[in-house]
Structure 1
Amino acid sequence: MEASNINMVLAAACLVAGTGIGALGYHLLNAGARNAQRLKLRLTERERQLTEWKDGVDEHLRGMDELVHRLVEDGQSLRQALDDSARRLGSDAIAAPIAEVPATQEEEDIAVPRDYADGNRGTLSEDFGLRKAGEEEHSPHPQRY
Structure 2
Amino acid sequence: MEAANVDWSMLVLTFIVGAGAGALISHLLKSGSAGNNTSSDLKTRMNEKELQLAQLSDNVSEHFVRTDELVSTLEKNYEALISHLKSGTESFCDDSTLIKKPVVETAAEKKEAEPEEQTESEPPRDYAPKTSGTLSEDFGLNKEKEESTEPPKGL
TM-score normalised by length of structure 2: 0.50
Deviations 1:32-62 (A, max 9, x none): 2122112212211211221221122122212
SS of the counterpart of 1:110? coil
CA-to-aligned-CA distance 1:58-79 (integer Å, 9 cap, x gap)? 2221221222122112112102
Q: 2:86 corresponds to which residue? A: 83
1:83 partner SS: helix
From the two aligned structures, give the one with the greater helix fraction.
2
2:38 & 2:59 partners in 1: Cα distance? 31
Q: Tell me which residue corresponds to 2:56.
A: 53
Evaluate the alpha carbon distance shift between residue 77 and residue 109 of structure 1 in structure 2; reply closer, same or farther with a 3 A threshold.
closer
Alpha-carbon distance between aligned partners in 1 of 2:126 and 2:63, rounded to the nearest angstrom: 46
Q: Provide the residue aligned with 1:103 in structure 2.
A: 116
1:38: which partner in 2? 41
The equivalent residue for 1:113 is: 125
Secondary structure of 1:113's counterpart equals: coil
Q: Deviations over 1:80-123 (max 9, x none)?
A: 2112212312456549x98533734x852324635447956x4x
Structure 1 distance, partners of 2:132, 2:76, is 55
CA RMSD, Structure 1 to Structure 2 (Å)? 3.9
Sequence identity, in percent?
A: 24
CA distance in 1, matches of 2:57, 2:132: 59
For residues 32 and 115 of structure 1, do their structure 2 counterparts lie closer, same or farther at Cα, with a shift above 3 Å needed?
A: farther
Distance 2:84 2:123 in 1: 42
Structure 2 spans left out of the alignment, 5+ residues: 1-10, 137-155
The letter of the residue matching 1:41 is T
Partner residue of 2:30? Answer: 27
Structure 2 CA distance for aligned equivalents of residues 76 and 119 of structure 1: 48
Aligned-partner Cα distance in 1 for 2:127–2:101: 46
Unaligned runs of 5+ in 1: 1-8, 126-145
Task: State TM-score, norm by structure 1.
Answer: 0.53
How far off is 1:19 after superposition?
6.3
Corresponding pairs, count: 112
Could you tell me which residue of structure 1 aligns to residue 67 of structure 2? 64
